[in-house]
Structure 1
Amino acid sequence: MKITVIGGYGVFGGRLVQLLRRDGHEVTVAGRDLARAQRFASAWGAQAMVLDRSADLSPLTGAEVVVDAAGPFHAYGDDPYRLARFCIDVGINYLDLSDNAAFCAGISVLDANARKAGVFALSGVSSVPALSAAAATALAQDMETIDTISSAILPGNRAPRGRSVVDSILSQTGLMFDQTTDSQTTPVRSWSAPRTFTLPSGELRKGWLIEVPDQSLFPAHFKARSVQFRAGLELPVMNYGLAVLSRLRERLRFGMPRWLVALVMFGACLLAPFGTDRGGMVVAVIGRKDGAWQRAVWRLGVDQGEGPFIPAVPARALLRNPAQIALGARPALGDVTLPDAEAAMADLCVTTTRDTTQITPLFPATLGAPFATLAPEIRATHDTPAPRIWQGRASVTRGAGVLPRLAAFLFRFPQARDDTRVQVTKTPVNGTEVWQRRFGTATFQSTLRATPQGIAERFGALTFLLDLHVAEGRLHYPIQKGWCLGIPIPRFALPKSAASERVENGRFHFDVRLSMPVTGQLIVHYQGWLQSAADFSGTPLAVETDRQPELI
């Protein structure tokens, strides 16, 4: 097959050229630098062509397929689909390796033209969304419903990285983008909320939220309640450097000048000797099967510096059997299967694994049989195999006096209000749950975990054992014991608490009252009602992503 790869001497395009030549295709390497194209093409038995994507495209005629592997796709200007449109108009099939969400989703505007011309035009034929979608499809095959899809790409530091990739990451670092959490569109900040992933070798790597096509395309395609994607670099100094840049850019709202991109590239080159050439990719799906929650995970590990081949694998898999590609223009969501992708990696230094585990959320696991006696509205608020958002209204009463006010300040409890909007986000974290409570603009957070004695709740340095029990149809969890930095707190020094959940008129209600030890002075009393954010008449409140936990 005659295939022209634009950017065919770049990091990813060059790997695609190598794979296509291994498969026996006639390949032309195209780019603005003819000398580089010729050098690379001669090394792999390909042809070379000089081509500026923004200029005359007529040299492309004669190709059966054109693959755009150049990028950065977010910088394609006012007519981003000029190349794709040209290919369709002259009857050439088109693929690109875009990981830009807007570019990938937007190619559907050319669908009618592509069908009429009898060609295919697919965007995102890369690690995302093509390969991540293939993995998610395979993992969810036997699930009755899909709750959450979480993915990550974690390259080794010694793997080559092109300027387009660096430009793509930096262009969005610190910017807000929309992410679907519990069927709600919530704004999150790019390169925030780190999470730890396990590669097939058992090595742990951190990934950070970043926008790719998955977040905008997967919720509708898979009918998933939550979709997340993260990327991470191997060296902590680079990850945390980007995290600092993300926070600064959010606060100061500056652009991304070319000199800063060049500076980051220079720094990356200085750090190139460190780390390894090992990287990987993880895709996890949480769903319901046979009435129970389960988590299925596909892991990919790549060695010997062959990570940059992975973005080229979906295109290789498709072009091995182009007659099976449906006509039309669309994001590449269902075009690549996981078996075909894994077959296209067979000659690479790649390891893949799959595993499935059952999930029992924290509260039903801890309470056991009594949990089933609670009202459905209460049980629903604790059925958290994945992030859940609850919204409603509440009143807050604060105590008077220096010590109660100091305690409320330290715990970040909200100010007194007769009526305020409240949002509670519950997120499972490796057997624990993180509860982020937001009353208006005030946010405080705690982590709950199971212990042999019951559920313990941690607020910073303080941990309290809760006497979780069911009585008269209500769920109660008063404080039973406490520790400060692991040191037991005497019973007389424990805050007095009365916390319960109940149902009134078919609606979930909560009532929490905390008072000072010894004196009994009120610290805070908040009470109100909650319902699923999907049923609440209002948009979700912003999530403090730096305070988000690592998600399972």
Structure 2
Amino acid sequence: MRILLLGGYGVFGSRLAELLVRDGHDVTVAGRSAGAAQALANRLGCRAMVLDREGPLDALAGQDVVVDAAGPFHSYGADRYRLARAALAAEAHYLDLSDDAGFCAGLTELDPMARQAGLCALSGLSSVPALSSAAVVALSAGARPRVIDTAILPGNRAPRGLSVMRSILEGAGRGMPVWRGGRWCRVTGWSDPKDYTLPGGLIRQGWQIAVPDQRLFPAHFGAETVIFRAGLELGVMRYGLAAFAALRRIWAFPVTPRLVRVAQVAAGALAPFGSGRGGMSVTVTTETERRSWRLLAEDGDGPFIPGVAARALLRRDVLPPGAGPAVAVVTLAEAEAAMSDLRVVTERVSAPVDPIFRRVLGDAFDRLPDVVRRTHLTAECSHWSGTCDVTRGTGLWPRLLCALFGFPPEGRDQPVEVVKTATAAGETWLRQFGRRRFRSRLSVRRGGMEERFGPFSFALALHVTEHALHYPVTAGRIGPLPLPRWLLPVSVAREQAADGVFRFDVDLHAPLTGQRMVHYRGWLAEDTGEDPAVR
């Protein structure tokens, strides 16, 4: 094919140009710098051209495919699809390596034009969303993915283009939408770090940033939660960017070209440190398994990975007509075949999903009614809502204890919401009764479960009796210090099903006096949340 590659001498564009030349395509490297384009063309044995996407585009005529690898795509201005429309008008397919969610999703406006011409126009034919979605399809194997968790973790010696650096800096410290537990939430760019394992046991840390996956995957795959993180190998860079993000939360200053260049110089000064090993991880959690696809690129081959999906697609004889984001347009098998001449290792691993309540209860968990079991099968985050009646105890001692633990005020038919979040140790429950909130953390302990409220921890001897789940308190501590039994609250708490509805009944009595502290009972149903296509 005759392929014009705009931005073809950039970090990712130059690697894609090399891959396409290897495959025998007639490649023209294009951009605003004649010298840079010609230098790469001389090295690869292909053509060079000066082309500005904002200038005349007559040179697109005669090309079979136009690929935009320039970016940054979020700054393309009011007429952001000018190049794509010009390519289709010139009877050429259009592909790009965009990592901007709005740009990828918006390309569907050209779908009628592309279909009428029988041409392909795809945005995001890169590591995300093209390669990540290919992995999701393969890992799901027909099952519905409840959680999709993706990370890209480059080595420190991998080159960084100005477009990529600008995109990361502009997202740091800014609010961004994330689909968690069936609803849109706001998080801060470059926050919530998490460790990921790559082939060979290599551990890298990722931080949340915005990519097309968070916007496109909830509706396409029907997932409850979609998470993406990116990482930097060196701790000084990760936490330096975290400090930058914290500063931008306080003072929303713009990211200027000068600031981007300063960041590039700083990153360049640290280039001798770290390694050229980078990777990618995609994990899908289904009802029964947690399945991961992991990639490790050695010896600086990581920057080739963003071009792999485009290479795989362009190996086909016929490209799919229509315009839109590049979600599930190539298969993982095609992508892995397109990496066969790179120094890349991939692996798949899986493990059974083992929720904390199933771990503690064992076979007894399966004796619970379905609506009760369902409340304890949180894959990553789940939301529950209902109403409850709250009765507060009288007397100074019960009132002091209720204030200490943040228990809700007395009232009937109070709205109640519970957000359950899976953690490495177990789960976190955030309960809201009306305007009052209190949080607890649950984890497995020897012989049962432990629930922690601030400095107080209580051992719970969970058991199932007559299809109800009971939560008696058997021990406690404040910090590391054990509490004597006479200082333990008396808990009569159970969960059960009534008329197919999940119901809870919690009656807590104060230590020493036995006076009632609080009694709350009511019902909950899973809050299926919002339409993922509407933010």
Q: Scaled by the length of structure 1, what TM-score is found?
A: 0.89
Unaligned runs of 5+ in 1: 541-552
Q: Name the residue aligned to 1:38.
A: 38
| 1:62-112 C-alpha deviation (Å, 9 max, x unpaired) | 221111001111111111111000000110111100011111011111111
Q: Name the residue aligned to 2:72.
A: 72
Q: Name the residue aligned to 2:51.
A: 51
| 1:385-425 C-alpha deviation (Å, 9 max, x unpaired) | 34222122345566788876776666555566666543322
- Tell me the distance in 1 between the aligned counterparts of 2:114 and 2:223: 29
- Tell me the distance in 2 between the aligned counterparts of 1:166 and 1:442: 42
Q: Name the residue aligned to 2:323.
A: 329
CA distance 1:21–1:441, change in 2 (3 Å)? farther
Q: Answer whether contact 2:419 2:429 (CA < 8 A) is retained.
A: yes
Q: Answer whether contact 2:182 2:382 (CA < 8 A) is retained.
A: no
Of 388, 406, 409, which residue of structure 1 is paired with 2:382? 388
3-state SS, counterpart of residue 286 of structure 2: strand
CA distance 1:265–1:131, change in 2 (3 Å)? same
Q: Name the residue aligned to 2:305.
A: 310
| 1:172-196 C-alpha deviation (Å, 9 max, x unpaired) | 2233333323333333332222222
- Tell me the distance in 2 between the aligned counterparts of 1:351 and 1:297: 14
Q: Name the residue aligned to 2:162.
A: 163
3-state SS, counterpart of residue 39 of structure 2: helix
Q: Answer whether contact 2:218 2:224 (CA < 8 A) is retained.
A: yes
Is the counterpart of residue 450 in structure 1 residue 444 in structure 2?
A: yes
Q: Name the residue aligned to 2:146.
A: 147
Q: Name whichever of 495-504 and 190-199 sits farther off.
A: 495-504
| 1:462-504 C-alpha deviation (Å, 9 max, x unpaired) | 4321021223443221221123444422222333433322334
Q: Name the residue aligned to 2:210.
A: 211
Q: Name the residue aligned to 2:94.
A: 94
CA distance 1:442–1:258, change in 2 (3 Å)? farther
Of 340, 345, 352, which residue of structure 2 is paired with 1:351? 345
- Tell me the distance in 2 between the aligned counterparts of 1:539 and 1:504: 29
Q: Name the residue aligned to 2:17.
A: 17
CA distance 1:167–1:418, change in 2 (3 Å)? farther
- Tell me the distance in 1 between the aligned counterparts of 2:179 and 2:454: 28
Q: Name the residue aligned to 1:240.
A: 239
Instruction: Please state how far the C-alpha of 1:49 moved relative to its aligned partner.
Output: 1.3
Q: Answer whether contact 1:140 1:287 (CA < 8 A) is retained.
A: yes
CA distance 1:196–1:398, change in 2 (3 Å)? farther
3-state SS, counterpart of residue 475 of structure 1: strand
Q: Answer whether contact 2:60 2:90 (CA < 8 A) is retained.
A: no
Q: Name whichever of 18-27 and 360-369 sits farther off.
A: 360-369
Instruction: Give the share of equivalent positions with the same residue, in percent.
Output: 51
Q: Answer whether contact 2:37 2:48 (CA < 8 A) is retained.
A: yes
Residue type of the alignment partner of 1:284: T
- Tell me the distance in 2 between the aligned counterparts of 1:269 and 1:524: 60
Of 405, 430, 435, which residue of structure 1 is paired with 2:429? 435
Q: Name whichever of 169-178 and 274-283 sits farther off.
A: 169-178
Q: Name the residue aligned to 2:361.
A: 367
Q: Name the residue aligned to 1:299.
A: 294
- Tell me the distance in 1 between the aligned counterparts of 2:237 and 2:78: 33
Q: Name whichever of 488-497 and 390-399 sits farther off.
A: 390-399
- Tell me the distance in 2 between the aligned counterparts of 1:146 and 1:67: 31
Q: Answer whether contact 2:420 2:430 (CA < 8 A) is retained.
A: yes
Instruction: Please state how far the C-alpha of 1:170 moved relative to its aligned partner.
Output: 2.0
Q: Scaled by the length of structure 2, what TM-score is found?
A: 0.91
Aligned length: 532
- Tell me the distance in 2 between the aligned counterparts of 1:40 and 1:539: 47
- Tell me the distance in 2 between the aligned counterparts of 1:282 and 1:261: 27
- Tell me the distance in 2 between the aligned counterparts of 1:62 and 1:361: 58
- Tell me the distance in 2 between the aligned counterparts of 1:133 and 1:119: 22
- Tell me the distance in 2 between the aligned counterparts of 1:315 and 1:328: 16
- Tell me the distance in 2 between the aligned counterparts of 1:126 and 1:13: 11
- Tell me the distance in 1 between the aligned counterparts of 2:445 and 2:43: 62
- Tell me the distance in 2 between the aligned counterparts of 1:173 and 1:339: 34
Q: Answer whether contact 1:146 1:286 (CA < 8 A) is retained.
A: yes
- Tell me the distance in 1 between the aligned counterparts of 2:257 and 2:508: 53
Q: Answer whether contact 2:112 2:322 (CA < 8 A) is retained.
A: yes
Q: Name the residue aligned to 1:548.
A: none
Instruction: Please state how far the C-alpha of 1:25 moved relative to its aligned partner.
Output: 1.7
Q: Name the residue aligned to 1:545.
A: none
Q: Name the residue aligned to 1:123.
A: 123
3-state SS, counterpart of residue 134 of structure 2: helix
- Tell me the distance in 1 between the aligned counterparts of 2:35 and 2:85: 28
- Tell me the distance in 1 between the aligned counterparts of 2:417 and 2:254: 32
Instruction: Please state how far the C-alpha of 1:337 moved relative to its aligned partner.
Output: 1.0
Residue type of the alignment partner of 2:362: G
Q: Name the residue aligned to 2:195.
A: 196
CA distance 1:401–1:177, change in 2 (3 Å)? farther
Q: Name whichever of 4-13 and 190-199 sits farther off.
A: 190-199
Q: Answer whether contact 2:507 2:519 (CA < 8 A) is retained.
A: yes
Q: Answer whether contact 1:412 1:443 (CA < 8 A) is retained.
A: yes
Instruction: Please state how far the C-alpha of 1:343 moved relative to its aligned partner.
Output: 1.1
Q: Name the residue aligned to 1:229.
A: 228
3-state SS, counterpart of residue 56 of structure 1: coil
Q: CA RMSD in A?
A: 2.7
CA distance 1:415–1:251, change in 2 (3 Å)? farther
Q: Answer whether contact 1:411 1:444 (CA < 8 A) is retained.
A: yes
Residue type of the alignment partner of 1:317: A
Q: Answer whether contact 1:325 1:335 (CA < 8 A) is retained.
A: no
Is the counterpart of residue 424 in structure 1 residue 418 in structure 2?
A: yes
Residue type of the alignment partner of 2:439: Q
Residue type of the alignment partner of 2:209: I
- Tell me the distance in 2 between the aligned counterparts of 1:89 and 1:450: 62
CA distance 1:235–1:446, change in 2 (3 Å)? farther
CA distance 1:266–1:420, change in 2 (3 Å)? farther
Unaligned runs of 5+ in 2: none
- Tell me the distance in 1 between the aligned counterparts of 2:471 and 2:39: 71
Is the counterpart of residue 179 in structure 1 residue 174 in structure 2?
A: no
Of 454, 464, 467, which residue of structure 1 is paired with 2:458? 464
| 1:502-526 C-alpha deviation (Å, 9 max, x unpaired) | 3344432333344543245666554
CA distance 1:211–1:516, change in 2 (3 Å)? same
Is the counterpart of residue 6 in structure 1 residue 1 in structure 2?
A: no
CA distance 1:411–1:241, change in 2 (3 Å)? farther
Q: Answer whether contact 1:4 1:30 (CA < 8 A) is retained.
A: yes
Q: Answer whether contact 1:414 1:442 (CA < 8 A) is retained.
A: yes
3-state SS, counterpart of residue 146 of structure 2: strand
CA distance 1:16–1:539, change in 2 (3 Å)? closer
Q: Name whichever of 211-220 and 197-206 sits farther off.
A: 211-220
Instruction: Please state how far the C-alpha of 1:16 moved relative to its aligned partner.
Output: 0.7
Instruction: Please state how far the C-alpha of 1:158 moved relative to its aligned partner.
Output: 1.6
3-state SS, counterpart of residue 324 of structure 1: coil
3-state SS, counterpart of residue 339 of structure 2: coil
- Tell me the distance in 2 between the aligned counterparts of 1:93 and 1:432: 49
Instruction: Please state how far the C-alpha of 1:341 moved relative to its aligned partner.
Output: 0.7
Q: Name whichever of 69-78 and 252-261 sits farther off.
A: 252-261
| 1:425-465 C-alpha deviation (Å, 9 max, x unpaired) | 22333462232334456544333222331112233444321
